Amino acid sequence: MDDQSVWNKIVEGDVDALRILHDKYYHPMWLWASKYTRNDSLAEELVSDCFIKLWDGRRKIIIEKSLKSYLFLMLRNQIVSQARKSKHEFVFGAVSLPEVPDEVTVNHQDFYAELYAAIHKIPEQRRRILELAVFESLSYKEIASQLGISVNTVKTQMGRAYQFLKEELDPKNFLLFHFFLKRMPQKSKSQ
- 8-61, pLDDT tens digit by residue? 999 999 999 999 999 999 988 888 888 878 788 999 999 999 999 999 999 998
- In Å, how far from its chain's centre is CA 17? 21
Say what the pLDDT of residue 54 is: 93
The string of pLDDT tens digits covering residues 94-152 is 344 555 555 555 566 666 677 777 888 899 999 899 888 877 778 899 999 999 999 99
Do 70 and 149 fall into the same domain? no
Q: Residue 56 belongs to what domain range?
A: 3-98
Query: Can you tell me the distance from the alpha carbon of 162 to that of 120, in angstroms, rounded to the nearest whole number?
Result: 13
User: Are 28 and 103 in contact, with CB atoms under 8 Å apart?
Assistant: no
- Domain membership flag for residue 103: no
Kindly state whether residue 105 falls inside one of the protein's structural domains. no
Residues 94 and 7 in one domain: yes
The pLDDT tens digits of the residues spanning 156-187 come to 998 898 888 878 776 665 555 554 554 444 44
Helix (H, G, I), strand (E, B) or coil at 175: helix
Q: Is residue 90 part of a domain?
A: yes
On whether both 86 and 149 belong to a single domain, the answer is: no
Q: Which of 26, 32, 76, 34 is nearest to 51 (CA)?
A: 26
141 within some domain: yes
Domain count, the chain: 2
Is 155 contained in some domain?
Answer: yes
Q: Domain with 144 in it: what CATH number?
A: 1.10.10
Task: Specify if 108 maps to a domain.
Answer: no
Cα–Cα distance between 32 and 173 in angstroms, integer?
Answer: 19
pLDDT tens, residue by residue, 73-101? 888 888 888 877 775 545 444 344 555 55
130 lies in some domain: yes
Residues 87 and 132 in one domain: no
Residue 111 lies in a domain: no
For residue 61, the domain's CATH number is 1.10.1740.10
Q: Are 94 and 125 in the same domain?
A: no
In terms of domains, do 89 and 7 share one? yes
pLDDT of residue 92: 47
Q: What does pTM read for this prediction?
A: 0.51
d(CA 153, CA 12): 54
Q: Is the domain of 149 the same as that of 94?
A: no
